[in-house]
Amino acid sequence: MRVRILYHDHCFDGAASAAFFSRFLQAQLGADATFEYTGLAHKATQLFDDGMFDGDVNAIVDFKYSTNPRLTWWFDHHQSAFLSPEDAEHWKKDTSGRKLYDPSFHSCTKFIATVTCERFGFQAADLDELVTWADIVDGAQYASAEEAVELHSPAAKLTLVIENAKGSDLVQRIIRMMRDHKLEQIASDPEIQSIYAPLYERHRRSIDIIRERAQYGRQVVSFDLVDLGIEGYNKFIPYYLYPDSIYTVSVSTSSFRTKVSVGSNPWAREEPVHNLASICERYGGGGHARVGAISFPIGAVEDARRAAAEIREILGAGNP
């Protein structure tokens, strides 16, 4: 039995979801089941093609819904889980009981763990640590900005590697390790360590870059990294540098998109009042109430900057 799992790439929760769901399916299908993984990224062009669903069993975890008839399982927890109203209607008509959605969960990993336990009686006590940290990382439930930025825990170190790895091969190796290894064992792996060390130095430099680039006003931190070619950064750095901030808006580029990132401070003294997923949806993006993003085509820098400026004004104006 060949299983294809499509997961949110370069995301700790996406990797953890793929690992946990693999363990569940292994228990359901037996030792002869083999697993292959495909990383998915939010981008302005088509997200799925028919060739992706090439397994005897096909699953999507921590990513948007697909109407492909070969899709067997689906789990997601994002507010913006559907590409169109038609996709949402297609999901509502599903009778398989295997395409599941609940945006109340902080992480998709916890959602999968809860559903597979309650509906199928599956438990994997050795993965409790993975589930707990997926909820912390994806739900921004770190105790402080310092904990999130200074990267002392194995989960925080692995998050840095997963989010910044080139391509998907390393992420998929980590997924396979997550299935039966503790996070400390994975983070201590020599190959992981060799990749982590230069990434950590880059992470430290990115703190200085954002400190230099950031503009702060009306409790919104904003910055533009396009000309520096920085593809990603620790999303908690703005709150580490500006603890009184409530929101952050940034523009960056990667090999496949121009991105506007929008977030809110988990430790803000004032409760954020804006639903960031809803704001991002106006521009074709999405996410969660507290964090969202918009993907523009490669080169659409001015469009991204215009959207970021408009969102900055919306967030700085206060109540929606």
Any idea what DSSP says for residue 127? G
CATH code, residues 216-316: 3.10.310.30
Q: How do the domains of the chain map onto residue ranges?
A: 2-190, 216-316
Q: Which residues contact 276 (CB under 8 A, 6 or more apart)?
A: 247, 262, 263, 264, 287, 288, 289, 290, 291, 292
pLDDT band for 320, please (50, 70, 90 cuts).
low
Nearest 5°: the CA angle 169, 173, 179 is: 145
- State both tokens at 38: 């495909």
Percentage of the chain with pLDDT > 70? 98
The two tokens of residue 240 are 């580490």
Predicted TM-score of the model (pTM): 0.87
Element (H, E) at 26: helix 12-29
- d(CA 15, CA 116) in angstroms, rounded, equals 17
Q: How far is CA 302 from CA 143, 153, 258, 298, in A?
A: 37, 38, 10, 11
Give tens-digit pLDDT for 251-267.
Answer: 999 878 899 999 999 99
* The amino acid at 9: D
The two counts, helices (H) then strands (E), for the chain are 12, 11
List pLDDT tens digits, range 188-205. 999 999 999 999 999 999
pLDDT of residue 243: 96
pLDDT over 70 at 43, yes or no: no
Q: What is the pLDDT of residue 167?
A: 87
Q: So what's the architecture of 2-190 in CATH?
A: Alpha-Beta Complex (3.90)
